Homo-oligomer: A and B are copies of this chain.
Amino acid sequence: MKFSDRQSEIIEIVRNKGPITGDEIAEKLGLSRATIRSDLSVLTMINILGARPKFGYFYTGKSILSQLYDDLKKLKLKDYMSLPFSCDQKTSIYDVVVDLFMEDLSSMFITEGGYLTGIVSRKDLIRFMIGDADIKKTPISVIMTRMPNVFYVNENDSVYEAASLIVEKGIDSLPVVEVKSNNNLEVVGRFTKTNVTRLFVDVCDGEII
């Protein structure tokens, strides 16, 4: 259902000021109590507003919203991450650049023997390229951000935690890893600001919760 502008205003008032009496709501709107009577009836009938004698109107959506936030915070990375791409750390910078273009990636995960040793962003590549070094001969390991300075997540971590980490650390892309023997990290996914942006659109479309 769609609310009228006046109904939306009433919900907003009750959400911020409730519990509040019908007279007080009318006064805030500069209208008479009689004018908003039918709006209040509709809104209480569909349970958006509750009403109790000697208490006033209150907003019933608080617990539903807080449940929504809980639900959003519980979304798991494994359901929203993308496929990982990685290169061995002996790969030349030139070949990494070519791979980034082929797959349209913002970062490449760097491995040795299949396990995570670093990460290279577009920014790292640009920084290197303004120098004079030969990008066909220089291995990627020279410019990568190296473990243990790489931020990573687990597929059972929440999307919320990963997005918070991205914002807090100012990074583009997180490797999603599984811890193997000797604390080696196998890359099983990647999670980026693109994933969050897509998720935001889907939440707005009512497709997630």
A102 to chain B, nearest CB (A): 12
Q: DSSP class of A's interface residues: helix, strand, loop or mixed?
A: helix
* Cα of A67 to Cα of B123 in the assembled complex, Å: 40
Which among B125, B170, B209 is the interface contact of A104 at CB below 8 angstroms?
B170
A173 to chain B, nearest CB (A): 11
Interface size of A by CB at 8 A reads: 54
In addition to A94-B130, A192-B193, A196-B197, 14 A-B residue pairs with Cβ atoms within 8 Å of each other are A46-B60, A47-B47, A47-B60, A60-B64, A61-B67, A72-B203, A101-B123, A101-B127, A104-B170, A126-B129, A160-B201, A163-B204, A166-B197, A196-B200
Chain A interface residues toward B at CB < 8 A: 1, 3, 8, 11, 46-48, 50, 60-61, 63-69, 72-73, 94, 97, 100-101, 104, 106, 122-123, 125-127, 129-130, 135, 160, 163-164, 166-167, 170, 172, 192-194, 196-201, 203-206, 209
